[in-house]
Amino acid sequence: MIGDKKVLFSGMQATGNLTLGNYLGALKNWVTLCDEYECFYSVVDLHSITVRQDPSELRQRARKLLTLYIAAGLDPKKNCLYYQSHVSGHAELAWILNCFTYMGELNRMTQFKDKSAKHADNINAGLFTYPVLMAADILLYQADVVPVGKDQLQHLEITRDIAQRFNAIYGDVFTIPEPYLGKTGAKIMSLQDPDKKMSKSDENANASVYLMDDPDAIMRKFKRAVTDSEGCVRYCEEQPGIRNLMDIYGACTGKTSAEIEKEFDGKGYGDFKMAVGESVIAVLKPLQERFAELEKDKGYLDGIIKENAEKAEYYALKTLRKVQKKVGFPERVR
Ligand code: TRP
């Protein structure tokens, strides 16, 4: 708890471009969470170097991601938006937690298995202990809730196991985090394969709408979006493509599927796709304009980054000092 609020922590990797799916499915809904939770959103650059990165590109992407979060409506006065590498407590706690994590546990992590298959030439120790660093991120802020996708649930589970193991030895040091189960946004699927989630790493550029796409690109992608064979705009099992477009249109306009069906009664897929494209453009335009303004204002952004890193560090140090004392490191002489 911070004050009378529960703590929410989430980390995001600055890889690839954020998609409409990231926005409608997560980001858009995070904007109001700060009323209920003390929110920390970290750009997890320490995690990123478990696979090779181009240094200047990594730096640029990290800054772009932070800027996008602000542009999407996360108020940096109410949400702590910061770079993981600016708070050294993440790495320090990760080391300590490494000593409370078993090789066997880490060996079971499916993401490690997937990533080491994908990067067979660089199966480094960081990739293996990645979940411990993630545990450190979460436990450092005594987070109560963590909004995570399905792919990260196993990492949250190991975080809980590590925290419970530590608490069993040293007393109540860590809050045991839960997955955030509150209202989440629409689950947006690929425009080319509606059985697959829209992903920032999709190789088919037509499958995903990126937050920075210009109006022409957006319209083009929706015109090419895969549809179904019934020929009418109806929300049903047999029409996964249309269902996805209806979810997008609904999320952008606030309309229910019944309202959308009525609006396009007697009309074909073509009209509907145009309307979906236009609704997306209308949502992304103000976001893109804010992004451009923020990018120009280097001083403002630098100030936010500094302020928020200091805020994060304050809470991180509180936990870290407690942990260091518990495990038996000598006290600092003041
Ligand atoms: N591993 C997460 C991902 O790849 C990112 C992440 C790092 C994270 N630390 C976290 C997510 C802490 C939630 C909480 O998506």
pLDDT band at 108 (very low <50, low <70, confident <90, very high): very high
List the domains of the chain with CATH numbers.
6-180+298-327 (3.40.50.620), 215-293 (1.10.240.10)
- Is residue 73 scored above 80 in pLDDT? yes
| 12, 45, 87, 97: residue to mutate for ligand 1 pocket, most atoms within 8 A of CB | 12
Supply the mean pLDDT for the chain: 95
Enumerate residues 6+ apart whose C-beta is below 8 A from 52: 122
CA of 278 to the centre of ligand 1 (A): 33
% pLDDT > 90, the chain: 87
Per-residue pLDDT, averaged over 125-130, amounts to 96
Kindly state the DSSP code that residue 203 receives in the 8-state scheme: S
CA nearest 84: which of 130, 29, 16? 130
Contact 43, 62 (CB under 8 A): yes
Query: pLDDT at position 9, please?
Result: 97
Per-residue pLDDT, averaged over 53-65, amounts to 96
CA of 232 to the centre of ligand 1 (A): 40
Kindly state the DSSP code that residue 124 receives in the 8-state scheme: -
pLDDT in tens, 256-287: 999 999 999 999 999 999 999 999 999 999 99
Closest Cα to atom 14, ligand 1: which residue?
Answer: 10
Which of 42-46, 157-161, 212-216, 236-240 has the lowest average pLDDT?
Answer: 236-240
Query: pLDDT at position 149, please?
Result: 81
* 298-327 helix and 89-98 helix, angle to the nearest 10 degrees: 30
Tell me which long-range contacts 154-157 makes (C-beta under 8 A, separation of at least 24): 154/109, 154/110, 154/111, 155/109, 155/111, 155/131
Kindly state the helix (H) or strand (E) to which residue 286 belongs, with its residue range.
helix 269-296
Query: pLDDT at position 109, please?
Result: 94
Ordered DSSP codes for 224-244: T----SS-S----TT-HHHHH
- Is residue 229 scored above 90 in pLDDT? no
pLDDT band at 131 (very low <50, low <70, confident <90, very high): very high
Per-residue pLDDT, averaged over 175-198, amounts to 90
Catalytic residue ranges: 115, 197, 200
pLDDT band at 181 (very low <50, low <70, confident <90, very high): confident
Query: pLDDT at position 17, please?
Result: 85
Residue 47 CA: nearest ligand 1 atom is: 7
Per-residue pLDDT, averaged over 145-167, amounts to 94
Kindly state the helix (H) or strand (E) to which residue 143 belongs, with its residue range.
none
pLDDT band at 35 (very low <50, low <70, confident <90, very high): very high
Kindly state the DSSP code that residue 333 receives in the 8-state scheme: P
Spacing of C-alpha 205 from chain mean position: 21
Strand order through the sheet with 37-43: 79-83, 37-43, 6-12, 145-146, 178-179
Q: Which residue has the higher pLDDT, 110 or 17?
A: 110
Spacing of C-alpha 55 from chain mean position: 21
% pLDDT > 70, the chain: 100
Contact 41, 10 (CB under 8 A): yes
- Is residue 15 scored above 80 in pLDDT? no
pLDDT band at 201 (very low <50, low <70, confident <90, very high): confident
- Is residue 99 scored above 90 in pLDDT? yes
- Is residue 231 scored above 80 in pLDDT? yes
Distances (CA, A) of 318 to 51, 178, 312, 324: 31, 21, 10, 10
CA of 10 to the centre of ligand 1 (A): 6
Pocket-forming residues, ligand 1, beta carbon under 6 Å: 9-11, 13, 44, 47, 134, 137-138, 146, 148, 152
- Is residue 137 scored above 80 in pLDDT? yes
Distances (CA, A) of 228 to 143, 245, 271, 279: 43, 11, 15, 21
Token reading at 233: 């705009």
Nearest-5° angle of CA 273, CA 259, CA 266? 55
CA of 309 to the centre of ligand 1 (A): 18
- Is residue 148 scored above 90 in pLDDT? no
| 84, 155, 197, 200: residue to mutate for ligand 1 pocket, most atoms within 8 A of CB | 155
pLDDT band at 26 (very low <50, low <70, confident <90, very high): confident
